[in-house]
């Protein structure tokens, strides 16, 4: 196929290591019953969840992290049956999430071909390496800052408008299936991220000149 004009990337779970690994470490470290978290996540974020759940309101900036921490703590159960403290709950949840060097290298390689790169992220109040992403992506769209959230069409339309590109000339990369479906409905090409190498290989179909494999140390010396 002909090349696209832009690639839009999610942040957590795409440009970082898997969010699930950070959550698992948090549950163990803070002695939280995993079932209580799974139950809450399903009630607040599943496809069948009603509109306006605490997660939805957190992602659109209607709830502060402190307000959300209190609501989440009330739903959780400590592994010892005791209440869970709300202070710094989200910060602890994301404490193990780190940028993935292979994905940042992929973004740089795409940008070097002349294809534009943008960031589109649903924020849970987690911090972003703003200086780094602002230097690499244009635009940077954070849900809590624009009052919209994936997978709703309005945030895709907003990002496309900032890029001044058409949906069918844009690829969206995310690790969450509902967001992939939302992007597809909005007319974008969409790729479900599983690992850096697979995503790189898939993007070569859309970005002419992008290498399918990262050069080995031997090749670069």
Domain membership of residue 167 as a residue range:
6-17+98-220
Q: Let me know whether 70 and 127 are in one domain.
A: no
Q: Let me know whether 213 and 157 are in one domain.
A: yes
Q: Phi and psi at residue 9, in whole multiples of 5°?
A: -110, 140
Position 209 scores a pLDDT of: 93
Q: Let me know whether 128 and 207 are in one domain.
A: yes
Position 1 scores a pLDDT of: 58
Mean pLDDT value of segment 184-211:
97
Element (DSSP H or E) covering residue 191: strand 189-192
Element (DSSP H or E) covering residue 174: strand 170-174
**Do the domain assignments include residue 119?**
yes
SS3 category, 205? coil
Position 215 scores a pLDDT of: 62
Mean pLDDT value of segment 203-208:
96
pLDDT band of 72, cuts 50, 70, 90: very high
Position 20 scores a pLDDT of: 94
Position 218 scores a pLDDT of: 41
**Do the domain assignments include residue 1?**
no
Q: Answer with the residue of higher pLDDT: 177 or 126.
A: 177
Domain boundary among 45, 68, 93: 93
Asked if the model's pLDDT at residue 73 lies above 60, the reply is yes
Mean pLDDT value of segment 204-221:
75
Position 127 scores a pLDDT of: 83
pLDDT averaged over the chain?
94
Q: Let me know whether 49 and 157 are in one domain.
A: no
**Do the domain assignments include residue 206?**
yes
Q: Give one DSSP letter per residue of 71-137, joined into a string.
A: HHHHH--BTTSPPPP-TTHHHHHTTT--B-HHHHHHHHHHHHTT-EEEEEE--SS----HHHHHHH-
Beta carbons of 173 and 194 less than 8 angstroms apart: no
**Do the domain assignments include residue 177?**
yes
Closest residue by Cα to residue 106 from 25, 198, 191: 198
Q: Let me know whether 83 and 51 are in one domain.
A: yes
**Do the domain assignments include residue 201?**
yes
Asked if the model's pLDDT at residue 221 lies above 80, the reply is no
Closest residue by Cα to residue 68 from 84, 88, 48: 88
Q: Let me know whether 80 and 127 are in one domain.
A: no
Domain of 35, CATH number, reads 1.10.150
**Do the domain assignments include residue 51?**
yes
Q: Let me know whether 150 and 212 are in one domain.
A: yes
Domain boundary among 71, 93, 115: 93
Domain of 12, CATH number, reads 3.40.50.1000
Asked if the model's pLDDT at residue 98 lies above 70, the reply is yes
Position 88 scores a pLDDT of: 94
Asked if the model's pLDDT at residue 95 lies above 90, the reply is yes
> Reduced to 3 DSSP states, what percent helix, strand and coil does the chain have, rounded to the nearest 5?
45, 10, 40
Q: Answer with the residue of higher pLDDT: 149 or 213.
A: 149
């Amino acid at each position: 196929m002909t090349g696209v004009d832009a690639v839009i990337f999610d942040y957590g779970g795409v440009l970082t290591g898997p969010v699930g690994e950070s959550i698992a470490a948090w549950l163990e470290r803070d002695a939280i019953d995993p079932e209580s978290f799974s139950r809450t996540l399903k009630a607040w974020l599943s496809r069948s969840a009603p509109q306006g759940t605490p997660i939805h309101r957190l992602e659109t900036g209607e709830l502060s992290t402190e307000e959300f921490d209190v609501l989440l703590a009330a739903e959780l159960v400590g592994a010892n049956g005791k209440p869970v403290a709300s202070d710094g709950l989200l910060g602890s949840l994301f404490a193990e999430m780190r940028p993935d060097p292979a994905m940042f290298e992929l973004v740089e390689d795409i940008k070097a071909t002349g294809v534009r790169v943008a960031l589109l992220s649903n924020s849970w109040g987690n911090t972003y390496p703003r200086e780094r992403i602002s230097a690499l992506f244009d635009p940077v769209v954070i849900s809590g800052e624009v009052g919209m959230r994936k997978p709703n069409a309005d945030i895709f339309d907003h990002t496309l408008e900032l890029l001044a590109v058409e949906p069918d000339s844009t690829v969206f990369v995310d690790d969450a299936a509902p967001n992939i479906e939302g992007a597809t409905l909005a007319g974008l090409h969409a790729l479900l991220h599983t690992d850096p190498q697979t995503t790189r290989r898939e993007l070569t179909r859309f970005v002419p000149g992008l290498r399918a494999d990262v050069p080995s140390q031997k090749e670069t010396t």
